[in-house]
Amino acid sequence: MNGKCKGSEFERVISKKLSLWLSEGEDDDLFWRTQGSGGRHTQRKKKGKETKNQEGDITSTHPSTQMFSEKICIECKHHKDINLWSIITRTGGQSIYNWYSTLIEISKDSGKIPFLIAKQNNKPILLITNALIERSNYFNDLKPISGFIFEQELSFIYIFEDLLKQDPETFRTFLEKSKHGILNS
């Protein structure tokens, strides 16, 4: 499978996983790939036009998940080697560091929480974000596997499947009460 097909398939898999999670197993089509995997948003922005909730690779397709897309920008990457070490060295062409750097820029511009969902062959899917999810007291068993400083902000790496074990209503409450992933309590 070539890289583009592999990436597109990964976006479809993540869309379905998020849909099933937030619908508690009822629907698998609440999220889907954005047009051109976010490329439409990028091209329109170059022309000075806005395109709501088309940043990133995945967006809501249903009113019940609209808030998720309004608060979170999702970028998906599936590569043979995601070069996790690049976060420390701050280098690398096709690497988690460069993908996360781009996502942070897009997220700041759109006022959204960055969610980089990355998979390396034969490894678990990772979620990289600067959202302080585990400090919110909403998720007792969601703990990061690592943390790092990125552009003067603390960021975290989670196992993506651990997020999907959390109560979806609790996650919605977290999103409602948070601004950029920091709880407004």
Contact 17, 164 (CB under 8 A): yes
pLDDT digits (tens, 9 = 90+) for 14-58: 999 999 999 999 999 999 998 654 454 444 445 554 555 558 999
> How far is residue 74's CA from residue 83's CA, in Å, rounded to a whole number?
19
Instruction: Find residue 58's DSSP bridge partners.
Output: 33, 74
pLDDT digits (tens, 9 = 90+) for 144-174: 888 888 887 889 999 999 999 988 998 888 8
pTM: 0.85
Contact 115, 127 (CB under 8 A): yes
The sheet carrying 146-150 orders its strands as 31-33, 58-60, 72-79, 113-120, 126-129, 153-159, 146-150
In which residue are the tokens 């999702």 written?
74
